[in-house]
Amino acid sequence: MSTQTINDLVSRELLAWNEGRLEVIDEIYAPTFINRYTGETPAVLKQKIADVRVAFPDVHITIDAQVAEGDMVVSRWTAHGTQQGAFMGAPATHKHMEQTGITMLRVENGKIVEGWSRADELGLLQQLGLLPAMTG
């Protein structure tokens, strides 16, 4: 599989996050996909995206850097949005957030089959005022 094809899969995933097009997940993820860090399956991922888009209807994710080699692609990304709905049991704060993260995906037969991802969850919760900011 070409590097361009692998990069295109990641670009297509952004349609789900940025536009709410959840059907894209079924198109680009294998039914057996598993995120090795979070345990997410395609169904869990679709629910997560739907929940995030309720809490942050203006969420927008951009790819800041991306490297593909062989059957793997690693993306460093940034998400922006304003909390306008409930998030993790907390009511809307109407605060803007910026979250960064890194995702590594493995592709097989044109589908994403395995992943590893980490995001700055602590920073997100602090920006929303849901956790106190750490002080020196």
pTM over 0.85: yes
pLDDT over 70 (residue 134):
yes
If you average pLDDT over every residue of the chain, what do you get? 94
121 lies in some domain:
yes
- The answer as to whether 16 is a domain residue is yes
pLDDT at 94 over 80: yes
44: tokens are 């869990």
> Residue 64: what residue type?
D
Q: Does any domain span residue 113?
A: yes
Is 132 a member of any domain?
no
Residue 135 maps to a domain: no
In a domain, 134, yes or no: no
Residue 116 sits in which domain range?
3-127
pLDDT tens-place string over residues 70-90: 999 999 999 999 999 999 999
- Provide the number of structural domains found in the chain: 1
Angstrom distances, CA of residue 53 to CA of 17, 18, 30, 116, 135: 8, 8, 23, 22, 31
Span 51-60, mean pLDDT?
Answer: 98
Q: Is residue 52 part of a domain?
A: yes
Residue 78 belongs to a domain with what CATH number?
3.10.450.50
Integer CA distances (angstroms), 71 to 17, 74, 77, in order: 23, 10, 19
**Residue 99 within any structural domain of the chain:** yes
Return the DSSP state at 14: H
Q: What is the mean pLDDT of residues 123-130?
A: 95
